[in-house]
């Protein structure tokens, strides 16, 4: 699933290419992924011009000069593809926008779990789950003190709290593993067991992880948008059986509910 660093790299890619580009044609090939009537969507898209792309949590927000916003919640397998029209369409290509710069912008979703919304810019909170999100993990308003105060409102295992979008928005399964590893905190620890210094360390580690991950993904997506997440640099996530880069002990992978939880039993207490 694309998480905050993946989406940050995507919007950097798009903002270098899309602002000022007109949508000459729109094809809704799998309409139920698009949460507005097909005819209304096509009519609104064709002739529209892109402005800047932004993000909140795991929503990618593509602003149009008309004032409307194309909001994409890509869920597990939704991906954007920016390519020449001659490139063969992949299976489960849900949407194709033909652009005035000679390229296509496509949305591909192999499991058809993602959702695309089109709303006026001042009505984003009408999108399901949007208003329920907490403050974005990269928001300047999320100071260490605000982080600690918000953390007190949530109980349960710290791994689950970090991935709860009502706590803060943007962190998913992969990056919660990396943040907890950097903070030297066991993912199964109860939130209530964390000492003040551990909370401060968790906050610092969140920013440290994002600071090194985002530039690496941006570099890997300089020329094209990948259809898989860029994960080669991760230190523990899905590294089960490999040596911990800090202590040398074996990293543990635990699979539950279709997700992999990864941590070092020695480093993370």
User: Do 139 and 257 sit in the same domain of this protein?
Assistant: yes
Query: Is 62 in the same domain as 119?
Result: yes
DSSP 235: S
Q: Is residue 268 in some structural domain?
A: no
Same domain flag for 102 and 67: yes
**Which of 116-154 are b and which e, b meaning 16 or more Cβ less than 10 Å from the residue's Cβ?**
bbbbeeeebeebeebeebbbbbbeeebeeeebeebbeeb
Shared-domain flag, residues 240 and 143: yes
Give the confidence band of 228 by pLDDT, cuts at 50, 70, 90: confident
Say yes or no: 140 and 208 in one domain.
yes
> In this model, does residue 4 exceed pLDDT 90?
yes
Query: Does 269 reside within a domain?
Result: no
What is the pLDDT, as a whole number, of residue 11?
95
- Average pLDDT, integer, range 27-45: 95
> Per the structure block, which two tokens stand in for 101?
């710069």
- Residues 31, 122, single domain; the answer is yes
Please report where in the chains the tokens 């593509």 appear, as a residue: 62
Give the pTM: 0.95
Q: Quick check: is 168 in a domain?
A: yes
Pair 190, 93 in one domain = no
Residue 227 has pLDDT above 90, yes or no: no
Q: What is the pLDDT of residue 258?
A: 82
pLDDT of res. 28 = 96
Q: How many domains in the chain?
A: 2
Burial label for 15, CB within 10 Å (0-12, 13-18, 19+), is middle
CATH number at residue 258: 1.10.8.50
Q: What value does the mean pLDDT take over residues 175-196?
A: 98
User: pLDDT value at position 51?
Assistant: 98
Which domain, by its residues, includes 149? 135-263
Which residue stretches of the chain are H helix? 4-15, 38-45, 144-151, 158-162, 173-183, 196-220
49 and 156 share a domain? no
Do 193 and 259 lie in one domain? The reply is: yes
Q: What is the CATH number of the domain that holds 96?
A: 3.20.190.10
Are 68 and 187 in a shared domain? no
Same domain for 109 and 189 = no
- DSSP structure class, residue 164: -
- Dump pLDDT digits (tens) for 232-265: 999 999 999 999 999 999 999 999 878 999 999 9
Q: Is the pLDDT of residue 113 over 90?
A: yes
Report if residue 207 sits inside a domain: yes
Residue 126 has pLDDT above 80, yes or no: yes
pLDDT, tens digit, 9 for 90 and up, residues 10-24: 999 999 999 999 999
**118, 192, 196, 202: which is closest to 168 by C-alpha?**
202
Q: What is the mean pLDDT of residues 187-198?
A: 98
What number is the average pLDDT over the span 168-177? 97
pLDDT tens figures, 40-94: 999 999 999 999 999 999 999 999 999 999 999 999 899 999 999 999 999 999 9
Based on the domain organization, do 240 and 149 belong to the same domain? Answer: yes
Torsion angle (degrees, nearest 10) of CA 77, 80, 209, 154: -50
């Amino acid at each position: 699933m694309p998480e905050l660093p993946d989406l940050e790299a995507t919007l950097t890619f798009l903002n270098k290419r899309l602002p000022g580009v007109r949508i000459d044609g729109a094809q809704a090939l799998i309409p139920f992924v698009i949460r507005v009537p097909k005819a209304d969507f096509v009519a609104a898209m064709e002739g529209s011009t892109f402005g800047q792309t932004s993000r909140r949590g795991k929503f990618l927000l593509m602003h149009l000069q008309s004032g409307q916003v194309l909001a994409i919640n890509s869920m597990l397998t939704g991906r954007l593809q920016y390519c020449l029209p001659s490139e063969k369409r992949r299976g489960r290509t849900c949407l194709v926008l033909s652009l005035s710069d000679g390229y296509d912008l496509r949305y591909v979703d192999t499991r058809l779990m993602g959702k695309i919304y089109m709303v006026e810019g001042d009505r984003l909170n009408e999108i399901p789950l949007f208003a329920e999100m907490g403050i974005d993990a990269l928001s300047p308003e999320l100071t260490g003190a605000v982080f600690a105060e918000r953390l007190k409102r949530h109980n349960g295992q710290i791994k689950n709290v970090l991935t709860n979008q009502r706590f803060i928005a943007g962190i998913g399964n992969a990056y919660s593993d990396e943040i907890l590893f950097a903070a030297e905190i066991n993912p199964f620890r109860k939130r209530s067991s964390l000492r003040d210094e551990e909370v401060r360390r968790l906050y610092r580690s969140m920013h440290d992880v994002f600071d090194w991950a985002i530039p690496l993904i941006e570099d890997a997506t300089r020329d094209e948008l990948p259809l898989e997440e860029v994960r080669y640099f991760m230190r523990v996530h899905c590294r089960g059986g490999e040596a911990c880069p800090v202590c040398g002990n074996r990293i543990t992978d635990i699979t539950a509910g279709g997700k992999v939880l990864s941590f070092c039993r020695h480093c993370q207490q």
